[in-house]
Amino acid sequence: MVRQELMRIIKDRRKELMEKNETEHTDLLSKMLLVTNENGQFYSEMQIANNLTGLLVASFDTTSSAVTAVMNYIAELPDIYKEVLEEQMEIAKSKGPDELLTWADIEKMKYSWNVARESLRLMPPAQGAFRETATEFTYAGFTIPKGWKTFWTVHSSHKNPEYFPEPEKFDPSRFEGIGPPPYTFVPFGGGPRMCPGKEYARLEVLVFMHNVVRRFKLEKVIPNEKIVIHASPTPVHGLPVRLHPHEK
């Protein structure tokens, strides 16, 4: 059903582009319709629909979980919220009333992104992934042969005090400077097959933070709400939050 609706939208957009002879667009669908592969061929409507389906599905559960994690901590920690607010208000002051954020604005959100990353360290949306061992190795007294399919867990490194001192403490400064050692902070995986949606997720989370924090003060309705792990970390009561508008 989703793919059928996407196919309809793609056909309509292709027709519109052809009728208007347009070649310059910033939206993703238009770019997919106009781009060619290494042989100069356009992508089929089904290929585009499949890519859009992957984008929609992959960016929904994990990103909503990431946003929930950020909301959980900035509502719980007033000092963290205050610094995020100050950074976002500085950016807002440089914009017109209805002016949209630019990539340059996103790049300025360094502290906010550190807060988001620390939230992802403590509440990662994905719990791990499978990898095939490239060589035999020994770990904790167990020998893992070459070619085995292994499952690595995010928490095994995110909560490792060797890489993250006081691992249960919320500390965005961990990501200042060069940040954690490679392959220790892995909410998006790592290496050449890491999540291709990392920058898209970063954009979604930071735009969300910008639009919520600069308008509202947040208050958790249920302090110390229990978080359970299903596929992703899930607050048992849905993380109800009161939004208090800032005084003008």
Binding residues: 195
User: Residue written as tokens 């020998």?
Assistant: 143
Interacting residues of 202 by C-beta distance below 8 A, sequence separation 6+? 106, 113, 116
E strand residue ranges, the chain: 128-132, 137-139, 142-144, 149-153, 216-220, 227-229, 233-235, 241-245
Strand partners, 149: 132
Widest Cα–Cα separation across the chain? 67
- Residues making up the binding site for heme: 195
Residue pair 113/134 in contact by the 8 Å Cβ criterion: no
96 burial type by CB count under 10 A (0-12 exposed, 13-18 middle, 19+ buried): exposed
